[in-house]
Amino acid sequence: AYELGLPISARVHPVFHVSKLKPFKGTPPSSIPELDPAVIGPLVDVQPVAILATRAVTTENGAQQQALIHWSG
């Protein structure tokens, strides 16, 4: 799976399977257009309230700490 680095406010699922990737062909655009506000959605002010749980996960890149966060907003 591949995860896009989208803003938190984006209303598009950021993860898709690598089999959906295709090589780029053509000339790169001279500028990048702005995202449609309907896709981004309203900006949400979220703040972390508490760390509910933590765990250590072993991945192919080594050990990684993960945390479950309670958010407000």
Write down the domain spans for the chain: 2-25+41-72
Q: Work out the pLDDT band at 70, boundaries 50, 70, 90.
A: very high
**Separation of alpha carbons 57 and 62, rounded Å:** 8
**Separation of alpha carbons 10 and 35, rounded Å:** 9
pLDDT at 48: 92
CB 9 within 8 A of CB 35: no
pLDDT at 50: 95
pLDDT at 4: 85
**Separation of alpha carbons 17 and 5, rounded Å:** 15
9-65: pLDDT as tens digits? 888 888 888 888 888 888 988 888 887 777 776 677 788 999 999 999 998 888 999
